[in-house]
Amino acid sequence: MSSPRSPVSAAEVAAVRQPVDEASLLPPRVFHDPEVLVFEQEAWFARSWLCVGREEDAAEAGQYFLATIAGEGVIVIRGRDGELRAFHNVCRHRGSLLVTEPAGRQVRFQCP
pLDDT value of position 3: 75
- Is residue 46 packed enough to be buried (19+ CB in 10 Å), middle (13-18) or exposed (0-12)? middle
Provide the residue ranges of all domains of the chain, joining segments of one domain with +.
10-47, 55-105
The pLDDT value given to residue 102: 96
**pLDDT score at 1:** 58
User: At residue 91, what are phi and psi to the nearest 5 degrees?
Assistant: -75, 135
User: Domain 55-105 falls in which CATH fold?
Assistant: Rieske Iron-sulfur Protein (2.102.10)
- Average pLDDT, rounded, for the chain: 90
Low-confidence ranges of the chain (pLDDT < 50): none
Q: Which residues contact 86 (CB under 8 A, 6 or more apart)?
A: 52, 67, 74, 75, 76, 77
> pLDDT at position 110, please?
84
Phi/psi at 58 (nearest 5 deg)? Answer: -140, 70
